[in-house]
Structure 1
C-alpha cells in the first residue's frame, strides 16, 4: 500500500478514536473524499489522488456538524499553511459553511505548524497525538513532545554545520534579501547546497521570497529553532584544570594563541559576562580554540581532567563558529559573536537559557530592530 494511503487510514483511525471519546457525540459517519463531498477534488500531495475524509455527527449541543479533514503526506509549515488556505477556500464555497469545521492532518504537526493552524482558525491532528479542535461546544487541545512517527528531522539538516552557515549570515542582517549566488559565496558552500537550504527555509515557513531575494520571516523564531538543534557539546571539548584565577588563565590562553597565530574566542559565561553580564561568580572559563586541544593544554601546562575542570577548551566543528569574533570593553582578547554566544548559552543547563534570553533582549534584538528600521 502506498505510504500516503497508509497514513490517511491511520489518521482516520486516530480521528475516529478521538471523536468517540467526546461525551454526547452521536451518529458519527466518516467517508472518504474520493466518494464526493466538500473536499472532492482537493488533491494536493498526489496528482490524481484524493487525500482526505469528512466526518458528520451530532454534537453534544445537538447541532449537526461536518468536520472536513485534509490529509497531507508532510506536515512542514509551508505545506500546512497552503493546506489551511486551500481548505478554507473550499469550505467558504459551500452553502453549509456555517456548520463545517476545517482540519488538516499529517504524520506529524510541529509547534510552528500548529501555530499556523491556530492563526488561521483551522484544527489539526497528527499520528503522535498532537491535536486541536475548537468548534461548537467542542474544545480539545493536546501537545505531545515526542514525535513518534517521523524519523527524518528537517531542522537537523537545516542546522547542520555547513547548512547553518546560510542561517548564520542571514541572521547577521535580517533586513537583507539574499540571492542564492550571494548566499553560496558568503557561506562558502556550493550553489546546490545553498539552493537546498533556501528551499528548506521556505518549506518550514521560516523565510519568504521578497523583492531582491530570500528573506527571513521571523528572525527570532529562526534563532530559537536553531538553538533547539545545536549544543556547544557538539564541538570537540577538553576540560582542564590549571593553577591560577579565571582571568589569569584567559590571559595565558590569549597570549598563547597570539604567539601561535591560532584563532580563539571566549564563549559561554566567560563571554557573556563581558558582553551582557547576567551570571556572576563563574568558576570555569570556556573558549573555542582552532587547534589541537591536547597540544594546547600541554603547551600551557594545563591538566586534562574528567571532572573538576576550571577551563573548558572547545574546538569549533565548523570554521563559521568563529565568524564575527571581536573584542569587548573589558577584554582585549576575542569573544564569539552574539549569535554564537546565544547558541552556546542556550544549550548550557545551568542558567544558560536565562543568560541567552538576556543577551537576546539586550544586544541581538536591538541590533536587528536598528537594521530593520534603517531599511524599512
Structure 2
C-alpha cells in the first residue's frame, strides 16, 4: 500500500495519485513508499518513490512540472539529470517527469534524455530494471486545446501569417507588431507561446520561426474558419468572362470594399489542382456589394456557384497576394488552412498547395 509522508499540494497530489495508479498495475512492484520532498534547492525533486521490484530496492525521483510545454520540459530534464548525477544512493534513482500534459514533442525530449515520464492525460513511459510501462492516448486536455485556439485567434493569426511568409527572417517585437497591425502585447503573447512550444527561437537579430512545419501542422489541427457570414449566390457568368469581371473588381484601387479569391479559387492561382464548379471569396460588406454588381450575383438557396464569406475581422486582407494582375488571393498559408477544412477534395488540394507553394517546409 502506498504511503504519503506529509500533506502535499494539489498538483503533487494529482501527480502522486496518477503515479500510484500506474505502479499498482505491475504485480512485480511491491512495498511502495511514496514521499513528498519540498523544494529547498533547485536540484531537489518533488516526489521520491521507494519500492521493490521482485525483492530488489528501487527509487523513482520525480519532478512535477506545472507546464508540459517543450521549453519548460527541457529545463526540467536538465535539473533531473543533474539531481541524478549528485545522488549517491545505490541503485541510482530513476528520473521521472510528471506534468499535466506532455505533447509528442515534449515526450520526444524525455526519450532523448532517457527520462521516464507521466502526464495526467494518461500518457506514460516508465522504464527500469526489466520493467517497461508505456501507454499513449490521442486526446488533448481542454486547457491545451483552449490555448491552441487562443494562439490562432484573428489577431494572433495576423502575426503568424507575417512570420510564415519567411520563417527564417528575424523580427524585433516593434517591427513585427507594425507589420501585423497588432499591439505590442499581442506580439509578446504570441512570442511567448512560440518559444514555449519551441516553434521559434531568438537570435541577436530577433525572433524567427525554427519549426514552421510543426506550427502549421498544429494550426491545421486546431483551425477554425474565419468568423463571418457565409452567403451563397448564383451567376450566369463563367470561364474567362467570370475571371475578367472578378479581377476587375479585386484590382480596383481607391474604392471602398475589400475582396479576395479564397479556398479553391485562390488555389487555382497559387497551385492549380483541378477546377471546381464553385467560386469562393472572402470580402467585407462593401466588397460583397461590388462583387454582386460586377458578377451579377443573385441569392441562391440551391444551385449556388459563388460563395462569399463576409468577414468580421479585416486582418486576413493584410496577407493578400497577387499571383496574376488583379487576381488578389488569400496567402498560401491561409489558403492551405481553408482547403484543409474543406473535405477530402480540399485536403488533397491543400497537400498539393503545401508541396508547391510552401517550399520553406522542406
Superposition TM-score tier, normalisation by shorter sequence: 0.7 to 0.9
1:358 corresponds to 2:357 = no
Residue aligned with 1:239, SS: strand
Structure 1 distance, partners of 2:33, 2:125, is: 20
Q: Is the 8 A contact 2:156 2:190 kept in 1?
A: yes
Q: Any conservation in 1 of the 2:33–2:51 contact (CA below 8 Å)?
A: yes
Measure how far apart 1:91 and its partner are.
1.0
Q: Distance in 2 between matches of 1:358 and 1:156?
A: 25
Match of 1:25 among 23, 29, 48: 29
Measure the CA separation in 1 of the matches of 2:348 and 2:127: 34
Matched, 1:206 2:199: yes
Partner residue, 2:188: 195
Q: Which residue of 2 aligns with 1:117?
A: 110
Which residue of structure 1 lines up, in the alignment, with residue 327 of structure 2? 333
Out of 246-255 and 80-89, give the one that drifted further: 246-255
1:218 aligns with 2:211: yes
Whole-Å Cα distance in 2 between the matches of residues 11 and 163 of structure 1? 33
Judge conservation of contact 1:77–1:116 (CA < 8 Å) in 2.
Answer: yes
**SS of residue paired to 1:323:** helix
Q: Distance in 2 between matches of 1:340 and 1:149?
A: 25
1:134 aligns with 2:114: no
Assess, with a 3 A threshold, how the Cα gap between structure 1 residues 326 and 340 changes in structure 2: closer, same or farther: same
Contact 1:75 1:106 in 2 (8 A): yes
Task: Assess, with a 3 A threshold, how the Cα gap between structure 1 residues 98 and 247 changes in structure 2: closer, same or farther.
Answer: farther
Q: Distance in 2 between matches of 1:306 and 1:69?
A: 61
1:1-376 aligned within 5 A: 5-34=9-38, 41=40, 52-59=46-53, 64-96=57-89, 99-148=92-141, 150=143, 153-232=146-225, 234-245=227-238, 248-258=241-251, 262-278=257-273, 280-292=274-286, 295=289, 298-299=292-293, 300-305=295-300, 308-328=303-323, 333-365=327-359, 367=360
Deviations 1:257-298 (A, max 9, x none): 4455643322222222332233x2423221222335764565
Q: 3-state SS of the aligned residue for 1:78? A: helix
- Let me know the Cα RMSD of the aligned residues: 3.0
Give secondary structure in 1 for the equivalent of 2:161: helix
Do the aligned partners of residues 248 and 5 (structure 1) sit closer, same or farther apart at CA in structure 2, a change above 3 Å counting? farther
Q: Aligned equivalents of 1:89 and 1:98: distance in 2?
A: 16
Q: Confirm or deny: 8 A CA contact 2:45 2:61 kept in the other structure.
A: no
Taking a change above 3 Å as real, the CA distance of residues 108 and 334 of structure 1, as seen in their structure-2 partners, is: same
Structure 1 residues 162 and 104: CA distance shift in structure 2, 3 A: same
Structure 1 residues without counterparts, runs of 5 or longer: 35-39, 45-49, 370-376
How many aligned residue pairs are there?
Answer: 352
- Cα pair distance change 1:23/1:231, threshold 3 Å: same
Call closer, same or farther: CA 1:251–1:141 in 2, change over 3 Å. farther
1:335 counterpart SS class: coil
With over 3 angstroms needed to count, the CA separation of the structure-2 counterparts of 1:72 and 1:97, relative to structure 1, is farther
Shift of 1:168: 1.7
Greater Cα offset, 248-257 or 213-222: 248-257
Q: Residue 69 of structure 2 contacts residue 196 of structure 2 at CA under 8 Å; is this kept in 1?
A: yes
Cα contact 2:259–2:281 (8 A) shared by 1: yes
Per the normalisation by structure 2, the TM-score is 0.84
Query: Counterpart of 2:3?
Result: none
Change (3 A) 1:306 1:81: farther
Gaps in structure 2 of 5+ consecutive residues: 1-7
